[in-house]
Structure 1
């Protein structure tokens, strides 16, 4: 027999950030992994706009897609892993990978979005450095 799942415990224990935002884009859930990743405490994040972690230059595009998703009830990303820049509380840039899922009311209206997020900054920087080094080696060998 399967025991009941304690979802609060699950959300607190997961190593990936879990962020839920409502239809307007206000944060309604911010787990401990999100605190570690982005630097904002739960009390600093809850009720704030997702702009908290979206770099200024990407906000227009983000909100266009967000509002389109809320209106249509569909995300064009499905189960795809998205990779985008994000912002830490201290101002440094992060490279994150995440999946999204829509949340619905009993009447099937979209009420919000849940994102499960992983920090891939180290991997992104390693790949960028390897690409740079490879370009240098190719330039040297063709000279």
Structure 2
């Protein structure tokens, strides 16, 4: 039995950010979780480029990867969880984990991406603290 799902309701209720950008990196979908994670309202984010949330030091790598994905219609992050820094509206840095799906037009040409993004900042900080504690225990200062 197939059940009908209201996709708009689904996008609005999920706890992870759903961000869709067109072939030119312009944001065309920004759900409430994206607002909670990044601090930008839907109105502020729509029409902006993805560099709104990409830290300056990551921009070149991001731009090269995005261009390559649009040209080839492929991404190596479709099934792999990518963990990278991101920037919040307040200027702070976040640790995010996300997957990317390619979107295509009727002729099969790549015309955008969808990213499903989770705020991993707290878990990353806890992991870093545990690694430091382990290092301190393994290498005591005398």
Both structures adopt the same fold (TM-score exceeding 0.5): yes
Alignment length, in residue pairs?
142
Matches within 5 A, 1:63-78: 63-78=63-78
Matches within 5 A, 1:1-143: 1-140=1-140
Q: State the 1:24 CA deviation.
A: 0.4
Q: State the 1:2 CA deviation.
A: 2.9
Q: State the 1:7 CA deviation.
A: 0.6
TM-score (ref. length: structure 1): 0.96
Q: Take 1:35 and 1:56, find their aligned partners in 2: how far apart are those partners? A: 20
Q: Take 1:76 and 1:35, find their aligned partners in 2: how far apart are those partners? A: 26
Q: Take 2:7 and 2:77, find their aligned partners in 1: how far apart are those partners? A: 25
Q: Structure 1, residues 1-44: CA drift from partner, whole Å, max 9, x if none?
A: 43422110000011100000000000000000000000000000
Q: Take 1:132 and 1:19, find their aligned partners in 2: how far apart are those partners? A: 34
Q: Take 2:73 and 2:2, find their aligned partners in 1: how far apart are those partners? A: 33
Q: Take 1:131 and 1:94, find their aligned partners in 2: how far apart are those partners? A: 19
Q: Take 2:74 and 2:37, find their aligned partners in 1: how far apart are those partners? A: 28
Q: Take 1:15 and 1:134, find their aligned partners in 2: how far apart are those partners? A: 32
Q: Take 1:45 and 1:35, find their aligned partners in 2: how far apart are those partners? A: 9
Q: Take 2:73 and 2:21, find their aligned partners in 1: how far apart are those partners? A: 15
Unaligned residue ranges in structure 1 (runs of 5+): none
Moved more, 38-47 or 104-113: 104-113
Q: State the 1:139 CA deviation.
A: 1.1
